[in-house]
Every structure is written in C-alpha cells, then in structure tokens.
Amino acid sequence: MKEDLIIKQLTEKFGSGISETSNPSPRRMFATVNKEILNEVIKYLRDTFNFYHLSTITGVDKGDFELNYHFANELTCVTLRVTVPRAEPNINSICEVIPGAVLYEREIQDMYGIKVANIPDGRPLVTSDDWPEDNYPLRKDWTFERPKEVIPGEQNGD
C-alpha cells in the first residue's frame, strides 16, 4: 500500500475537509481533518485501507487544542489532526466507528476539558471523583498549588 495513494484518495473524497497532508517518511502520514467529518474519514480509512487499530489519541494545547488520532494497519501509520477551539472545547466521539476509543476520549475529557459528545461512558478516567471542576492538568494555563510540606511532629503549621 502506498502512502501517496491513501493521501490522494483522502483528498479526492473529502476535498476541503482535509486541509493539509504530509508523508514525511516511509510508512508515516499526517492529515489535518475538519472535526465535523472526523468520523466519516475514520470510517473510510477503516473500511478502505484496514486502519482498524487506534494506537492512541494525543492532545496538544496550542492555544486551541490539537487532537491527534494515531492509526495503524499492517503496513503503515496515519495520524489525523483535528483542531478543537479553546472557546468551544467539544468534539464528537469516534466510538461508533472505533469502540475502543472510549478510554482515550475519557482521558482527553479529564486532562484537557474537551467535552466528547456521544461518548458511551463519560465517567472520569484519571481524575478522582472529588477532583475540582474546571481543573485540567494538561492545559498550559493550569496551575498547581502544592500542598504545604508536612513535617512529622508539626501540627497546624506550628
């Protein structure tokens, strides 16, 4: 399977919904996808090129958020990049196409505060039940106030 063929077919099928593509090295492709058609693109890659394996979903805080969906088949890897506006941090779940994405999507919600619509199980994954609201550790503007160091024998700051 040739990476250039995959890129060509993606851009032909989805047109302006694919805004940027690259093939920086053998067996490695990147495509920037409009978040509104992400499920369609994933379904097409799955059904046409056997990209059934979602390796992971990673997030990057660049002011707006970038979500990277990393897929592999037996021959190559493709990463779909999606921009999620910070002002409206929401995206549709891909679980109807790739059911195993649920754990990654739960982590994205916990760590970035990006709301995933239609997620089958939206419970927190890595944060506790008493975790403060609007407190997302992988956002660049997140601040953490370290608890005062506890010194054995001292009580109430004495």
Dist CA 97 CA 38 (whole Å): 10
Dist CA 86 CA 32 (whole Å): 17
Dist CA 60 CA 66 (whole Å): 5
Domains and CATH numbers, the chain: 3-117 (3.30.460.80)
Dist CA 30 CA 21 (whole Å): 5
pLDDT (tens place) for every residue of the chain, 158 residues total: 588 999 999 999 999 999 999 999 999 999 999 999 999 999 999 999 999 999 999 999 999 999 999 999 999 999 999 999 999 999 999 999 999 999 999 999 999 999 999 999 999 999 988 888 889 999 999 987 766 777 777 665 55
